[in-house]
A and B are shown apart, each in its own frame.
Chain A
Amino acid sequence: MSRHLGLTSAQRLMLAGQNLNPDDPLYNSAFLFVINGAIDVAAFVEAFARLVADAEPLRTVIKNPTGDARQEVLEMTEFDLPIIDFAEDADPEAAAMAWAKEKAKQTLDIEQATFDSALLKLADDRFAWYLNQHHLVTDAKSFEVVFRHMEELYVAARSGTTEHIDSIPSFSPYVDYESQRAQSREPISNLAVVPPPLYGRPVQAGGTENERIEIELSQRMSDDLRQLLGRPGNQALTRDLGQLQIFATATFAFLKRVSGQETITIVAPAHNRVNRQFASSAGLFIELFPIEVTTDGDETFASLHHRVQDASIEYLRLAQPGHADPEVNRRVNVVLNYLTMEFVSFAGNPVTTRWLHPDSVDGHHQLRVQVFDFDRTGRFTLAFDVATGVLGERQRVALAAHFETMLEAMVEDWDRPIEEVDLLGDEERLEVLALAAGDPVGDEPTDVVAMFLKRAANMPASVAIQEDDTCWTYADLDRATERLAQSIEPQSVIGVALPRSAGAVIAMLATLRAGAVFVPIDPAWPLERIRYLATDAGCSTIIADAPLDVDIPIVTLDELPSTTPTARRPAAATPEDLAYILYTSGSTGEPKGVMIERGSLANYISWAAGFYGPALTFPLFTPLTFDLTITSIFVPLTSGGSIVVYPSTTDAADLAVLDVFAEDAVDIVKLTPSHLALLVDRHLTGTRIRQLILGGEDLTTAVAAGVFEQFDGRLTIHNEYGPTEATVGCVVHTYDPEADTDASVPIGRPIDGAQAYVIDAAGQPVPPGVPGELWIAGVGLARGYARRPDLTKERFVPGPAIDEDRAYRTGDIARVRPSGTIEYLGRRDDQVKIKGIRVELGEIESALASHPGVTAVAARLWEHSDAEASEDLIYCTRCGLASDYPGVSFDANRVCNDCRAFDEYSVKARVYFKPEAELATLLTSQRGSRGNYDCIALLSGGKDSTYVLCRLVDMGLRVLAVTLDNGYLSDQAHGNIGRVVEALGVDHRYLTTPAMNEIFVDSLQRHANVCNGCFKTIYTLSMQTALDEDIPYIVTGLSRGQFFETRLTADLFTELTVSSNQIDANVLATRKAYHRVDDAVHRLLDVSMFDDDDVFEAVQFVDFYRYIDVGLEELYAYLDERVPWSRPTDTGRSTNCLINDVGIYYHRKVRGHHNYALPYSWDVRMGHKTRNQALEELDDDIDVAEVARILDEIGFPDDVTGSEGGRRLVMYYAAPAEIPVPQLKEHMASTLPPQLVPSRFVRLDAIPLTRNGKVDRDALPSPDHQRPEMETTFVAPRSDNEIILTRIWEQVLGVAGIGVRDRFFDLGGDSIMAIQVVAQASRAGLAITLPDLFEALTVERLAEAADRSPAVPAEPDRSEAATSGLATLGAEELERLADVLKAGEDGL
């Protein structure tokens, strides 16, 4: 009887892999055991027949493999073991091996049989047993079990006593066990799962085709590797685990180098034979579990090993039968397999084990590193199974060599930094050095002036420069430069502070002609910078077109002699003389002057003229201070071409590039990729421009492909790389749309006379594919930095090639392909660490750049200063407001602007407050006509609301106390509330809603706190209660002068409101609008009652502290006396709520300041707190783990509590219209690990550029001040009034890019801001009122309202003003009125 069984999850996964590759032997597990001794063939055949009967896996077949697959253990299998005789072959062993190798590549028909076997005769006393099993029914340990059983059967068969031998324990109990365990499997969630790219190759599957490279380690090396276990701290639970950890350390060290990645995830099999029966059974038990290690830049083997030890314990914790995560296994590309099984001997004969490779493996596994010593020789063998679709043959061989080098380095010096291990072999080093060199250049000196003069002599009448309608021929230019050169001293340094013009070109060329040095200066720069530069460079004269306030003589071109002087020979300049000093801005510190010699300039220019072609017309449209522009000036003038000048503009970003392409008057354009991105989607119809030279930035394939396509392919795009320090360009690549499909276009090969090396941390070249720092050497190298010998020494260092005394360290990360083409990987300092993964921002940018709807992208990591860490904060000496609060400023006494303003209006503010007696009068005014209560008191359980409730009771009012139970009230708050209401004898209700968590999430997203959500919820729920019970008043008690979400701030008094009634009217208008905002409360609670204006009449909100003035001490003293209330100690401050910390933490992380800072400063101003009390309460000690837990609990995507807390990756993209965020994320997720996909996206019309045309990351707007993701479609302002109002909104709300249909409150507006908007609109001459704003809520409708109202007259009629509503008055009028009132008060 055959038996049917289900499949284990490991089997199902493997079968799916087989089904994808039906004719592929990828899961063949084949061994050839060479037995060095005579074999009794008959006994062997008999034993094998019995083996099949004893070992279930040999009788297991797979039924319905492509459908509902089952494994069936057949009763018996008909199999006659073939005996194949190789003894007559010239080399029997080689022939047998060849046969076995071929045989191992034959696909098994798993529906018929899952194994194949044969006995091979090599000689009378030498045999070999071939056994191939499908991996579905076997693993390494299983082979050992089967091998030992076969041996036992063979020995017994020879003596005819096989009966007493038990069969191998069945696999089926494991199937049951595994399926039971698998039910409790959870996805592996605490790992990043980042596969390492091998030598720069993509980590996605590269096909199943595979090659095995075996290296047998020497006895010494093997011993050394074992002895590492004896080092202190290297012991593990077991020897096997310890040895696995040693090999894992080598593997991670190797992978770190060849991938350049800091976090690396690999998988390793766990045996899963967790009990004795399983241990002696045969079948597929193993599963793969991840080992993940995050390394530092300067890791040594020893320090890495500690991380590996820890990671391997985590691995063991995961490793439970049935718990392998298919999702993780699909993503990982490297397997480490430390095999401990041994074969050693068969029936007393020594065995040599050959593990046969079917040249095919699971396509996910680009590399398997396998370590074993099957024959117990004491020497480890390493078998590297490498995907041939990933690495070429030479690189596969090199891989094995590099791994072995890493092992050698490890045993040699356990404390050696991994980044300093020299991976190159001698031969490979020669190849790498050869690849790094551009073509050599001749010895004859060249000079750009000589090249120009030769052209001028040959083609005097040809156009050299065209500027507007003026043409300069070569002869004109010759004369002009000669004339100017006469007035320049050789060897002097001349500042050229001219706008982009023919004159500027003449000045530069003339300076060179005089044998002097030019220094480009942008006349638009701040004077300070010009002074610094001119002084630093040692300018003797500055050529300018307008006077400059500097202590250096200024010469204008007009002042030059107009007659051609008698010919004076140009000063004889040598290639070692300086040509120019060009200042570049470092990421830190002062600009530094790069000194370029004439020989370097000539080398680049003559190479470029040869490479791009002679006699081309270039546009001059980029800043003269940018070395990219050198190409556009000197290549045409030295090769018979011409220049078309596009004058400087005064825009922040010089957009002359658009004119260049619109006019289409040149042959070739040199520009930055960011410039190019501006052109995408511009429907270029040009026919003359045929070549583009890209420089200055990483060129993404998306941009190159986009432009290439726009030009219908009639365009050659060159990617030219080069730091200023190596003269304009030193590495170049011509874009190939077919071949260049990686995220970035390669930078290519070194130009003539240049060498470009990729160098490791120890200053040694690295093998192809390994990332390292790009170093440049050759004739283009700058002399150094002006007046900066230390910096020069640091960046210009001895080169890696013999006799190379100088190379420039670029700080760029690159790798070289085996072909010698160099790929740019980013800046060292652009590397950021996100969730533990170190990446280049460029890599993240590339992942979005390929989105078809996007024209340009930029990523920026925003870091908020951690207030706790910041010791630089200053605090207002009066109210304690901290300097990190937005918009705060301090006077000489360190008093904040809010306090100063308060001084001004506090007298007027008194108009708001009312006598204590009026409160009871008001609250009892409707007694008799309404329900059983006079009022509802909102009781949070904190001191202020408890005080309110007590006082209301004292007044003899019938009070219903209500508390919002948001699910996070502290136990002590509950206790306080219970005791207080009991002591007071008032009715009390907890109000609650199941939507609370969603409200928290919404509140965190909108306001970066949780309080706003709670406030609105309690207002809404208490209003419902008031309506149900017919209660006329709801008493709130936030603090004195704070009501609803507004405080008595300066705006209320200087602009709009001068009477108590006016304040009430405005607050009511604001409150109505507030309750109609479409947020979570609006969506999830019943808010229909707010649709009716009358509801605000039926139930009125009363601000308790408007009537009652009480100081903090008095308040506490009163509470002590009156009720059993105690200050909560379980929430960390005087709040009553545990989730409050979440809001505080989140707010500080994303907005950079404490959300209680402003309310508390107000309390101090009002005398409700002392400054010290406020500061003490703001000094939180927040439990971040608890914050993370609560965020998780309420379902808020936590991107703040990680190690990067407060750092947010923001992705900016240029596109004509907003693209839904899920779509952007999905696109990026196709190439990035999930944790690198940003969650914040900002659409811009264009990515901001520096004047040089590079992405200006500093100018990328803060995401906090960006139009949030809105449901409304963006509509830009159209009419004048819309434009004015949008500008005002943007200013008041601090949000850029507002659309006219965006709703005021959705943009984060509040009542204060509303008042400011109306006041500013009024100043701008738009007559709108606060009710207009709350009625309209959008710029579009507000503009309509403004259109309907007459404009505010510049000089309003005084009498008319006196009779019209205040809210329609002009700002000046209001201020005047306020002055009058103030004067009146003073008079009183």
Chain B
Amino acid sequence: MSIRRRKIVDYVSAQLLVDPELGLDEHEEILATGRIDSMSVMRLVSFIKEEFSITIPNEDLVVDNFKSVDAIDAYLSRYESV
């Protein structure tokens, strides 16, 4: 697991999940199931900015980019090639 992925998993589990005791599967849907909500996504956006210096534009704040840890990681990997 990449460092970035590890950091995201840690942050989401420790800070965002409403039910952290259930654990976090990197493939599972966390938005649709209500495990995190839109305010949490915004906290994650702030975290990503601080941690990885990536500013996420409004138009990228869509379900597909944040529905799971996989999706978040895939989205962020776009910034690597830039």
Q: Chain A interface (Cβ within 8 Å of chain B)?
A: 235-238, 240-241, 270-272, 274-276, 279, 310, 313-314, 316-317, 319-320
User: How many A-B residue pairs lie within 8 Å, measured between CB atoms?
Assistant: 47
Query: Are the C-beta atoms of B38 and A310 separated by less than 8 Å?
Result: no
Which of chain A's residues have a CB closer than 8 A to the CB of B16? 275
| Given A241-B38, A276-B19, A320-B42, 9 extra CB contacts under 8 A | A235-B63, A238-B31, A240-B38, A241-B37, A270-B39, A276-B20, A310-B58, A316-B39, A317-B45
Residues 14-27 of chain B: 1 if any A CB is under 8 Å from the residue's CB, otherwise 0?
Answer: 01111110000000
Q: How far is the CA of A279 from the CA of B62 in the complex (A)?
A: 24
Which of chain B's residues have a CB closer than 8 A to the CB of A310? 58
Query: Are the C-beta atoms of A279 and B18 separated by less than 8 Å?
Result: yes
Q: How far is the CA of A238 from the CA of B34 in the complex (A)?
A: 8
Nearest CB of chain B from residue A340's CB, rounded to whole Å? 10
Q: How far is the CA of A274 from the CA of B40 in the complex (A)?
A: 7
Which of chain B's residues have a CB closer than 8 A to the CB of A238? 31, 34, 37-38
Query: Are the C-beta atoms of B19 and A237 separated by less than 8 Å?
Result: no
Q: How far is the CA of A274 from the CA of B46 in the complex (A)?
A: 13
Query: Are the C-beta atoms of B43 and A274 separated by less than 8 Å?
Result: yes
Query: Are the C-beta atoms of B31 and A313 separated by less than 8 Å?
Result: no
* 30 examples of A-B residue contacts, CB within 8 angstroms: A235-B62, A235-B63, A236-B38, A237-B31, A237-B38, A237-B41, A237-B62, A237-B63, A238-B31, A238-B38, A240-B37, A240-B38, A270-B39, A271-B39, A274-B40, A274-B43, A275-B15, A276-B17, A276-B19, A279-B18, A313-B58, A313-B61, A316-B38, A316-B39, A316-B41, A316-B42, A317-B42, A319-B39, A319-B42, A320-B42
Which of chain A's residues have a CB closer than 8 A to the CB of B41? 237, 316
Q: Smallest CB-CB separation from A317: which chain B residue?
A: B42
Q: How far is the CA of A1191 from the CA of B58 in the complex (A)?
A: 27
Interface centre among A276, A310, A314 (most CB of B within 10 A): A276
Nearest CB of chain A from residue B69's CB, rounded to whole Å? 15
Nearest CB of chain B from residue A610's CB, rounded to whole Å? 62
Query: Are the C-beta atoms of A274 and B39 separated by less than 8 Å?
Result: yes
Which of chain B's residues have a CB closer than 8 A to the CB of A319? 39, 42
Nearest CB of chain B from residue A582's CB, rounded to whole Å? 55
Which of chain B's residues have a CB closer than 8 A to the CB of A270? 39
Nearest CB of chain A from residue B61's CB, rounded to whole Å? 6
Query: In the complex, which residues 25-73 of chain B have their Cβ closer than 8 Å to any Cβ of chain A?
Result: 31, 34, 37-43, 45-46, 58, 61-63, 66
Interface centre among B15, B16, B41, B61 (most CB of A within 10 A): B61
Q: Smallest CB-CB separation from A278: which chain B residue?
A: B18
Instruction: List 7 A-B pairs, minimum CB-CB distance, nearest first.
Output: A241-B38, A313-B58, A316-B42, A237-B38, A238-B38, A237-B41, A279-B18
Q: Smallest CB-CB separation from A235: which chain B residue?
A: B63
Q: Smallest CB-CB separation from A238: which chain B residue?
A: B38
Which of chain B's residues have a CB closer than 8 A to the CB of A279? 18
Nearest CB of chain B from residue A1043's CB, rounded to whole Å? 50
Q: How many residues of B contact A (CB 8 A)?
A: 22
Q: Smallest CB-CB separation from A314: which chain B residue?
A: B58
Q: Smallest CB-CB separation from B15: which chain A residue?
A: A275
Which of chain B's residues have a CB closer than 8 A to the CB of A320? 42, 46
Nearest CB of chain B from residue A281's CB, rounded to whole Å? 12
Given A237-B61, A238-B34, A314-B58, A276 and B18 touching (CB < 8 A)?
Answer: yes
Which of chain A's residues have a CB closer than 8 A to the CB of B61? 237, 313
Which of chain B's residues have a CB closer than 8 A to the CB of A236? 38, 63
Q: Smallest CB-CB separation from B41: which chain A residue?
A: A237
Q: How far is the CA of A1353 from the CA of B40 in the complex (A)?
A: 88
Q: How far is the CA of A1161 from the CA of B1 in the complex (A)?
A: 65
Nearest CB of chain A from residue B58's CB, rounded to whole Å? 4
Nearest CB of chain A from residue B68's CB, rounded to whole Å? 13
Nearest CB of chain B from residue A341's CB, rounded to whole Å? 13
Q: How far is the CA of A425 from the CA of B49 in the complex (A)?
A: 51
Q: Smallest CB-CB separation from B45: which chain A residue?
A: A317
Interface centre among B19, B31, B58 (most CB of A within 10 A): B58
Which of chain A's residues have a CB closer than 8 A to the CB of B39? 270-272, 274, 316, 319
Which of chain B's residues have a CB closer than 8 A to the CB of A316? 38-39, 41-42
Nearest CB of chain A from residue B18's CB, rounded to whole Å? 5
Which of chain A's residues have a CB closer than 8 A to the CB of B20? 276
Q: How far is the CA of A236 from the CA of B38 in the complex (A)?
A: 9
Nearest CB of chain A from residue B37's CB, rounded to whole Å? 5
Which of chain B's residues have a CB closer than 8 A to the CB of A237? 31, 38, 41, 61-63, 66
Q: Smallest CB-CB separation from B14: which chain A residue?
A: A275
Which of chain B's residues have a CB closer than 8 A to the CB of A241? 37-38
Q: How far is the CA of A320 from the CA of B41 in the complex (A)?
A: 12
Nearest CB of chain B from residue A1358's CB, rounded to whole Å? 80
Which of chain A's residues have a CB closer than 8 A to the CB of B66? 237
Interface centre among A236, A237, A238, A314 (most CB of B within 10 A): A237
Which of chain B's residues have a CB closer than 8 A to the CB of A317? 42, 45
Q: How far is the CA of A271 from the CA of B43 in the complex (A)?
A: 13
Which of chain A's residues have a CB closer than 8 A to the CB of B63? 235-237
Q: How far is the CA of A274 from the CA of B38 in the complex (A)?
A: 10
Nearest CB of chain A from residue B67's CB, rounded to whole Å? 9
Which of chain A's residues have a CB closer than 8 A to the CB of B18? 276, 279
Which of chain B's residues have a CB closer than 8 A to the CB of A275? 15-16
Which of chain B's residues have a CB closer than 8 A to the CB of A274? 15, 39-40, 43
Nearest CB of chain A from residue B48's CB, rounded to whole Å? 13
Nearest CB of chain B from residue A1231's CB, rounded to whole Å? 34
Interface centre among B16, B37, B43, B66 (most CB of A within 10 A): B37
Q: How far is the CA of A32 from the CA of B37 in the complex (A)?
A: 29
Which of chain A's residues have a CB closer than 8 A to the CB of B46? 320
Which of chain A's residues have a CB closer than 8 A to the CB of B37? 238, 240-241
Q: Smallest CB-CB separation from A241: which chain B residue?
A: B38
Which of chain A's residues have a CB closer than 8 A to the CB of B42? 316-317, 319-320
Q: How far is the CA of A270 from the CA of B41 in the complex (A)?
A: 13
Nearest CB of chain B from residue A645's CB, rounded to whole Å? 68
Q: Smallest CB-CB separation from A318: which chain B residue?
A: B42
Q: Smallest CB-CB separation from B61: which chain A residue?
A: A313
Q: Smallest CB-CB separation from A310: which chain B residue?
A: B58
Q: How far is the CA of A320 from the CA of B45 in the complex (A)?
A: 12
Which of chain B's residues have a CB closer than 8 A to the CB of A313? 58, 61
Q: How far is the CA of A313 from the CA of B43 in the complex (A)?
A: 12
Nearest CB of chain B from residue A690's CB, rounded to whole Å? 63
Q: How far is the CA of A275 from the CA of B40 in the complex (A)?
A: 8
Q: Smallest CB-CB separation from A311: which chain B residue?
A: B58
Q: Smallest CB-CB separation from B65: which chain A residue?
A: A237
Nearest CB of chain B from residue A919's CB, rounded to whole Å? 56
Q: How far is the CA of A274 from the CA of B41 in the complex (A)?
A: 10
Q: How far is the CA of A207 from the CA of B34 in the complex (A)?
A: 40
Which of chain B's residues have a CB closer than 8 A to the CB of A235? 62-63
Interface centre among B38, B46, B58 (most CB of A within 10 A): B38
Nearest CB of chain B from residue A324's CB, rounded to whole Å? 14
Q: How far is the CA of A1023 from the CA of B73 in the complex (A)?
A: 63
Nearest CB of chain B from residue A142's CB, rounded to whole Å? 16
Nearest CB of chain B from residue A421's CB, rounded to whole Å? 28
Q: Smallest CB-CB separation from B40: which chain A residue?
A: A274
Nearest CB of chain A from residue B47's CB, rounded to whole Å? 12
Nearest CB of chain A from residue B5's CB, rounded to whole Å? 21
Which of chain A's residues have a CB closer than 8 A to the CB of B43? 274
Q: How far is the CA of A274 from the CA of B16 in the complex (A)?
A: 7
Q: How far is the CA of A274 from the CA of B42 in the complex (A)?
A: 10
Nearest CB of chain B from residue A1113's CB, rounded to whole Å? 43
Q: How far is the CA of A443 from the CA of B10 in the complex (A)?
A: 86
Interface centre among A271, A275, A314 (most CB of B within 10 A): A275
Which of chain A's residues have a CB closer than 8 A to the CB of B19? 276
Q: How far is the CA of A314 from the CA of B41 in the complex (A)?
A: 13
Q: How far is the CA of A241 from the CA of B62 in the complex (A)?
A: 11
Q: How far is the CA of A275 from the CA of B11 in the complex (A)?
A: 11
Which of chain A's residues have a CB closer than 8 A to the CB of B45? 317
Nearest CB of chain B from residue A188's CB, rounded to whole Å? 15
Nearest CB of chain A from residue B15's CB, rounded to whole Å? 6
Which of chain B's residues have a CB closer than 8 A to the CB of A271? 39
Nearest CB of chain A from residue B49's CB, rounded to whole Å? 10
Q: How far is the CA of A274 from the CA of B39 in the complex (A)?
A: 7
